[in-house]
Every structure is written in C-alpha cells, then in structure tokens.
Amino acid sequence: MTVMKSAACVVAIGISLIASTAQAQNKLNVITTTEDLAAIAREVGGDRVTVESISRGYQDPHFVEAKPSFILKLQKADVLVTIGRELEIGWLPPLIQQSRNAKVQVGASGYLDASGQARILDIPQGQITRAMGDVHPQGNPHYWLDPENGKAVAKEIAEKLSQLRPNDRAYFEQRLNDFVSRLSDAEKRWAAMMAPYKGTKVVTYHRSFPNFAERFGLDVVGYVEPRPGIPPSPQHTLDLINEMKRQNVPLVLVEPYFDLKTPNSIGRETGAAVLVMPPSVGGVKEVTDYFKLFDYDINLLIGALKKVGTASH
Ligand SMILES: [Zn+2]
C-alpha cells in the first residue's frame, strides 16, 4: 500500500514536472532591441512570455556592438520587438539575417516595429543630405520617453502576442488595460510634479528627449552635439555657451553613454547644472521598469531645479 502510494506520488510529481516544462516551452520567447521595450513586453506578456533585451539601457542604442550571443538569442526568438524609425539600422539588420530565423525576419509574423501608433516628432521636411548629420528620415526614434507612447507600444505588443497566441488574447488585453490605467495614474502624478517648472529651458547632448520635453513642459533650446551623431566641436560649443548665457539656461541633460568633458566645461562657463539623465530602463541600476524610468528622471530634474531655484512662478 505504502509502496503503491509513493509510486503514485512519483508519477504525480513526474506529471507535474512534465506539465510545467511544457508550459515553459509554450511561453512565447520575446526578444527586444532595448530594455524599454522589454519592460513594456513584460507588463503585457505576464507569465505567458519570456522576455530578453539585446542592448542594455546604459548603451547608446544607435551603436550597439554586435556579439555572437545576440544571434543565438534571435535564433530562439518567437517575436522580435524593435523601436524602428531606423534607431537600430546600424546594427540589427545583419543580426536578423545571420539568425536565419524565418519568424523574425522583417515583415514576418514574429517581427514587430513598435512605432506604428506612436507620436513621432522631428520628421524632416524636404530633402535630407549628409551635411545634416545622422538625421532620421522617419523622424526621431526616441519616442518611448512619453508615457502616452509607452501605451501605444504596449498596444502594438499586445496585438502581436494575441495574433501569435489567439487563445491568450483576453489575458494580454487584460494586462494591457491594467498597464494603461496604472500609467495614466502615474502620468497625472508626474504632470503635477513637473507643473511648477513648465517652460524650463534645457540643453541636451543628443536629441533623445523631445517627446519627454513635450510631455512634461521642458523647452529644449540646443544640443551639445552640433548635429545628431556628430561629436562636439569647439565652435559649436562656444556658440552654445553664448546662447545659453543669453537665454539663462539652467540645465544640461546628458545621456549616460556620452563623455562629460564638454558638458562639464559648458556647465562651468554658464553656471548650468549638468545632469546625467538616463533615457532608458537599465540606464542606471535602480531603473528596473518603465514607471521607474520616469520616476527617476523627474525626481532628478526637480532635485536639480530646486537647487538652481528656477521654478518659474
Ligand atoms: Zn538618436
């Protein structure tokens, strides 16, 4: 009897192991190009997905050094989620090709450009020339820094996951709705925090923050880069310093992957505070999800603005 019982028990354990392995195998394997997309995919996908990002949030997403491990990740992917708007054009296409994974080739059912419903700024008018620098013809790809665009990305991901797993559509839609509603609540809080600083002038290193600035009322008056993707030049830096003095600009925002030498010298000349402000989840270690990204950046800005005393009213 005892033997029978323990045999049954072993069988039961065996079955539950098989069941959980099958469940794990049944999870959609989502690979994203950035940690922001991974954070949003986790919100929407819940326990029906595994999610991994190719790049790290402290890296410049325009220039990610391709590694063989990235190809292995893509080989096993069911879904590849990209920022699009040519952000990854310098490094992703060869990785996709070398993965030889038919599911994630551009245009295949497992490929997703998450920018489709997002509000895209800086779409260039007229002809684009080399002299303009690294200008994106499809507009500014740093659109995830507006929570409303975070919702647009989440909708795209939920739709893609539902197409691939129709039986889980209700689950993904419920998680999407929950994410959108938590984000709406957080947005009200962030907007209230930023309201006293509306119209604050800032300079940013790269054009990473136009959507953030538009959403939270900052006025970006210049860039440390003379043109997108072009390192600072002495003449441009001098012009920028003069312009910042004229307009009394209190802040320089620098993405974590840029050299601080030029921003610091601009800070010394103008009296502006230089802030290293992560544009992505994973940009600093405490920013582990999409909500914490805005919490961190907004607290950083407000902390600095309180010090320089530029609350405009
Ligand atoms: Zn850029």
State residue 312's pLDDT score: 44
CATH number of 194-312: 3.40.50.1980
Distance 205 CA to ligand 1 centre (A): 10
> 182: CA distance to ligand 1 center in Å?
28
> Would you say the CATH fold of 194-312 matches that of 22-189?
yes
Q: How confident is the model at residue 123 (pLDDT cuts 50, 70, 90)?
A: confident
Between 93-102, 122-131, 246-255, 257-266, the lowest mean confidence (pLDDT) is in 122-131
Say how far apart CA 36 and CA 38 lie, in whole Å: 5
At residue 25, the pLDDT reads 60
**pLDDT tens for residues 36-69?**
999 999 999 999 999 999 999 999 999 999 899 9
CATH superfamily of 22-189: Nitrogenase molybdenum iron protein domain (3.40.50.1980)
16 C-alpha to ligand 1 centroid (Å): 48
Which pLDDT band, with edges at 50, 70 and 90, does 133 fall under? low
The pLDDT of 118-131, averaged and rounded, is 82
Bridge partners (DSSP) listed for residue 51: 30
Any idea which residue has 């039986």 for tokens? 167
| pLDDT value of residue 308 | 82
- Ligand 1 geometric centre to CA of 134 (Å): 8
**Average pLDDT rounded to a whole number, residues 68-87:** 97
| Percent of the chain with pLDDT strictly greater than 70 | 88
Every domain of the chain and the residues it spans: 22-189, 194-312
CA distance 205 to 223: 5
Chain length of the chain = 313
Q: Residue 111 corresponds to which tokens in the numbers above?
A: 């490929």
* pLDDT number for residue 244: 98
Region 177-200 average pLDDT: 98
The predicted structure's pLDDT at residue 14: 53
User: What is the average pLDDT across 187-194?
Assistant: 98
Q: How does residue 106 score in pLDDT terms, banded at 50, 70 and 90? A: very high
Calculate how far, in angstroms, residue 83's C-alpha sits from the geometric centre of ligand 1: 11
CA quadruple 106, 109, 110, 114: dihedral sign: positive
